[in-house]
Amino acid sequence: MALDQNGGTASGAAASQPSNLNFETLLSLSGDAILQLGLTGTLEYASPSAARLFGWDSEKLPEHLSDLVYLGPPNPEAETLHKILSGAATPDVSLPHADLQLRSAHGSLVWAEVTTHLIEKGGEPAAFAVFFRSIARQKELEGLLEAATQTDTLTGLFNRRAFEDTLNREWAIALRENTHTTLIKVSVDKFDAISEQYGQSAADDCVTKVADVLKDTARRPADVAARISMSEFALLLPRTHEMGAETISAYIQVAIQDLGIPNPGNTAHNGVVTASVGTACAVAEHKGVLESSEFLLAASESCVFQARQKGGNRVNFSMSVLGG
């Protein structure tokens, strides 16, 4: 939208523009930060809220305009705003209107709804006006809602849907970069006997303690632990080779047994909770492999099935080289 600085007062508009109107006072009360920049990127005006939002006063802010916009994943509107703030945009640019992340003096990124206008003077482009409205609280609530839809309420682990979304994403990266991916499935042996003998509360306590073992194992930022059914769990370990996969799987199997949780139905293993662990590790030897993440899921499920068939409380492992 283009705004003209030279417009006269329209007939009958005097009542809406009282003589005692103080725009500076109104702007100081507004939560919106407003910047006016010349076409070369020179900061001509910064409203008082700009200092509250970004943490720099009007003297320091010009030094940070060129790196104010966080340029993460490709985002045309963020890139355009960056050009406007850096003085590299032309007047005919498509004006950004989007929710964007911005840098601040506090070191953290801030979320803002950004709206941009072109100011004209005498019918000619003269400056850009950029409005920033903080949406930090909105994003916080969105994050809480997203977490609620991705999390298993009993254990705090990812639920099946969130796990599969993450698996699809990490598998695509692994195929593109030819890196190893490990998927460990954990099935509690004779789980039904716990609730039958001790009740649902004891069964929930068992699930929670097994989940804690997986949480302690998923230490890297990309590692994902999930509860995928009543008594089954999954651990996704991107960029983990077969040696690491076997070591981690053996640790999980022993750590669950060492919890010493009573399970009267698991007579073959001293009446305590144990788990069958199925581990599948895979790597694409070259680019162009088309197998979906279902391949890794099926491989790990086959391994955990074989572990159960052999009596449980053991690890079954498979390694696949795709495209070989």
Over the stretch 31-85, which tens digit does the pLDDT of each residue have? 789 999 999 999 999 998 999 999 998 899 999 998 899 988 889 999 999 999 9
Rounded Cα–Cα distance for residues 236 and 242 (Å): 13
- Both tokens of 244, joined, read 């690491």
Rounded Cα–Cα distance for residues 256 and 282 (Å): 25
228 Cβ neighbours under 8 A, 6+ residues apart? 159, 160, 163, 185, 234
**With 90 as the cut, is the pLDDT of residue 149 above it?**
no
Rounded Cα–Cα distance for residues 34 and 4 (Å): 17
Q: Burial code of 185-206, b = ≥16 C-beta within 10 A, e = fewer?
A: bbbbbbbebbbeebeeeebeeb
Strands (E), 211-270: 224-227, 232-238
**With 50 as the cut, is the pLDDT of residue 15 above it?**
no
Sheet holding 275-284, edge to edge: 224-227, 232-238, 181-188, 275-284, 314-322
**With 70 as the cut, is the pLDDT of residue 18 above it?**
no
Q: Which residue has the tokens 């809480």?
A: 144
- Strand 314-322 versus strand 181-188 pairing type: unpaired
Q: Which residue has the higher pLDDT, 148 or 43?
A: 43
CB atoms within 10 A of CB 271: 14
pLDDT at position 150 is 84
Rounded Cα–Cα distance for residues 214 and 211 (Å): 5
Rounded Cα–Cα distance for residues 110 and 290 (Å): 39
What does the longest C-alpha to C-alpha distance in the chain come to? 93
Q: Please give the CATH topology (third level) of the domain spanning 2-139.
A: Beta-Lactamase (3.30.450)
Going from N- to C-terminal start, the domains of the chain cover 2-139, 151-322
Task: Using pLDDT thresholds of 50, 70 and 90, give the confidence band for residue 216.
Answer: very high
Q: Which residue has the higher pLDDT, 38 or 19?
A: 38
DSSP 262: B
CA–CA distance from 208 to each of 153, 198, 228, 264, 308 (Å)?
A: 10, 15, 13, 19, 21
Q: Is 198 helix (H, G, I), strand (E, B) or coil?
A: helix
CA–CA distance from 272 to each of 32, 43, 231, 275 (Å)?
A: 61, 70, 15, 10
Q: Please give the CATH topology (third level) of the domain spanning 151-322.
A: Alpha-Beta Plaits (3.30.70)
Task: Using pLDDT thresholds of 50, 70 and 90, give the confidence band for residue 128.
Answer: very high
Are the beta carbons of 237 and 184 closer than 8 angstroms? yes
- Both tokens of 66, joined, read 């060129």
Rounded Cα–Cα distance for residues 34 and 129 (Å): 7
Are the beta carbons of 322 and 291 closer than 8 angstroms? yes
Mean pLDDT across the chain: 90
**With 70 as the cut, is the pLDDT of residue 11 above it?**
no
